Structure 1
């Protein structure tokens, strides 16, 4: 990590008298820098040199959203006007500290907060619908059973090589077995099936860990590095699954608030859900990161039991019409 004095010099900041590392953040390194006047947030990217354009795209997207009136936290420019500092082969960006407070996922139960989240995402999507698609990445939703099974085997091998397996490891092995069995029996889903749903630019990672709240409103949206082009129901479904654990009443409240700002038909949502569930069944990113890359900051993302998305979706779909 770069020395704070170099950051202070690069951005012409007052003297930095304290630093701290937050507990959040699963991909990049974050450092809080305190001066006598305020606190800044330094992001140290784990991207390779070839990925610099992705940082440029992230910064452009958050800056656009901020300029349009969204509570987006945009990077602070260097005296040169650039927003990326390169030092010893690594990229850095500096941000103002977000106002408000974060709410742990298990405490996102207040109707006012859930409504605020829905309203904010609706406004975010409404504004980003005008953003040029070519300025952000367009992810592939293609999946391959053989590749998924190969990744499972690597994760299982990594677990098996541990000197001592704990109960959590055994649960993960059982989960992988459940997932493999389900995928072997499931009917393949055509991921082009939702091509008829309109695609647009999305934040890409809209969840409570990237939001701050103040007076029961979203006061800041951070971490724009997953910005992408996809159907907006994709991001909605991801939020319903990750934040609300597909809990019917909370999902209903969130989606109703979203629709008050940006209408969305149930047909678009259901069509996307069919593809989303299939792709998510192949999604082993967190398990690979934890067991193959030794990234222990993602441990909270690992679930020790596999529940097919389509099963959970069938139980809540009636709430979302």
Structure 2
């Protein structure tokens, strides 16, 4: 980590003229840090072909980054609003520097929207469905398949020592036991690549319209409706009471279905997918992040509080 506060995730340390030349670009200025991105270092750089974003993958190995970038290039090539990576002199969409994959993208214009509104939720749902439709049949063994049930089984028997952990473990076990049939059925639904991180801070907007979907770093493969459930989970966590607004849920679902209509089974399973998204997110934080962040009580986990606030929420409106 850098002690430079302008670089929250560490400083991009490259010989920019040499590095960018590998992508056929001529540097015309110094790297300017970009905020956001928990697992990457991002900087904006002026070049002879316009401004670009240089992105260093801090935690992704070359295989994982390669899978992400190949999918992003495919989406962009089909007209999906996301910047396509430049190709390096090795024929790959990234170059390795000290073992770290680093990619270069055209700079995308727009601003991060200040709040998730019904209109933005409808656009997000439609964009997610466009991604799922555009990647139907996409096969790439490098894409992670997340065993969400396995994560919860691990959580239910974990030795986490936070205050309230016994209560939390019981919540996890009750969820697994009470939804066993639905969770098994969820695993049989149409699956494919998931963005898994589609919240407003990964969107750019101009004049009320989404101009770019960013940050596919959580790319994994799973039931498609889990991606829609994650949109709803993020929207709920932004509310003061962490309750999912009905208008947001209805708009996101309407936008999605306009592009990719859900089957009756997928619609029936969306509530449990929404609950699953929240409880898995909470389990990951409590088991793997909390011990390193000075967290002392499970009540400090926002995604757990969101799960508790929203259990069965989608069952009470269409």
Same fold (TM over 0.5): yes
Q: Which has the higher contact order (CA 8 A, sep 6+)?
A: 1
Aligned to 1:198: 190
Aligned to 2:101: 91
Query: Does structure 2 conserve the Cα–Cα contact (< 8 Å) formed by 1:244 and 1:251?
Result: no
- Cα 1:100–1:187, aligned 2, differ >3 Å: closer, same or farther? closer
- Cα 1:16–1:215, aligned 2, differ >3 Å: closer, same or farther? same
Distance 2:303 2:227 in 1: 24
- Cα 1:318–1:150, aligned 2, differ >3 Å: closer, same or farther? closer
Question: In the alignment, is residue 2 of structure 1 matched against residue 13 of structure 2?
Answer: yes
Aligned to 1:303: 302
Q: Give the SS at the match of 1:129.
A: coil
Q: Give the SS at the match of 2:96.
A: strand
Give the Å deviation of 1:138: 2.2
Question: In the alignment, is residue 119 of structure 1 matched against residue 126 of structure 2?
Answer: yes
Query: Does structure 2 conserve the Cα–Cα contact (< 8 Å) formed by 1:203 and 1:226?
Result: yes
**TM-score, L = length of structure 2:** 0.78
Distance 1:145 1:237 in 2: 17
Aligned residues: 292
Return the match for 2:136 from 123, 129, 138.
Answer: 129
Q: Give the SS at the match of 1:32.
A: strand
Question: In the alignment, is residue 262 of structure 1 matched against residue 260 of structure 2?
Answer: yes
Aligned to 2:54: 42
- Cα 1:100–1:295, aligned 2, differ >3 Å: closer, same or farther? farther
Give the Å deviation of 1:254: 1.6
Q: Give the 5 Å matches for 1:159-170.
A: none
Aligned to 1:108: 116
Query: Does structure 2 conserve the Cα–Cα contact (< 8 Å) formed by 1:33 and 1:39?
Result: yes
Query: Does structure 2 conserve the Cα–Cα contact (< 8 Å) formed by 1:18 and 1:35?
Result: no
Distance 2:294 2:90 in 1: 35
- Cα 1:252–1:225, aligned 2, differ >3 Å: closer, same or farther? same
Distance 2:29 2:44 in 1: 11
Give the Å deviation of 1:14: 2.6
Give the Å deviation of 1:273: 3.5
- Give structure 1 regions of 4+ aligned residues with deviation exceeding 6 angstroms: none
Q: RMSD across aligned C-alpha pairs, in angstroms?
A: 3.1
Question: In the alignment, is residue 233 of structure 1 matched against residue 225 of structure 2?
Answer: yes
**TM-score, L = length of structure 1:** 0.77
Aligned to 2:212: 220
Q: Give the SS at the match of 2:22.
A: helix
Which consecutive unaligned segments of at least 5 residues does structure 2 have?
A: 1-11, 238-243
Query: Does structure 2 conserve the Cα–Cα contact (< 8 Å) formed by 1:30 and 1:44?
Result: yes
Query: Does structure 1 conserve the Cα–Cα contact (< 8 Å) formed by 2:160 and 2:287?
Result: no
Once the two structures are superposed, what CA deviation does each residue of 1:98-117 show, in whole Å capped at 9, x if it has no partner? 1222113xx222x4323222
Question: In the alignment, is residue 140 of structure 1 matched against residue 147 of structure 2?
Answer: yes
Aligned to 1:180: 169
Aligned to 1:163: none
Aligned to 1:253: 251
Give the Å deviation of 1:282: 4.2
Distance 2:158 2:197 in 1: 23
Which consecutive unaligned segments of at least 5 residues does structure 1 have?
A: 157-172
Give the Å deviation of 1:212: 1.3
Query: Does structure 2 conserve the Cα–Cα contact (< 8 Å) formed by 1:11 and 1:78?
Result: yes
Distance 2:294 2:23 in 1: 30
Give the Å deviation of 1:226: 2.5
- Cα 1:58–1:37, aligned 2, differ >3 Å: closer, same or farther? closer
- Cα 1:197–1:187, aligned 2, differ >3 Å: closer, same or farther? closer
Moved more, 136-145 or 87-96: 136-145
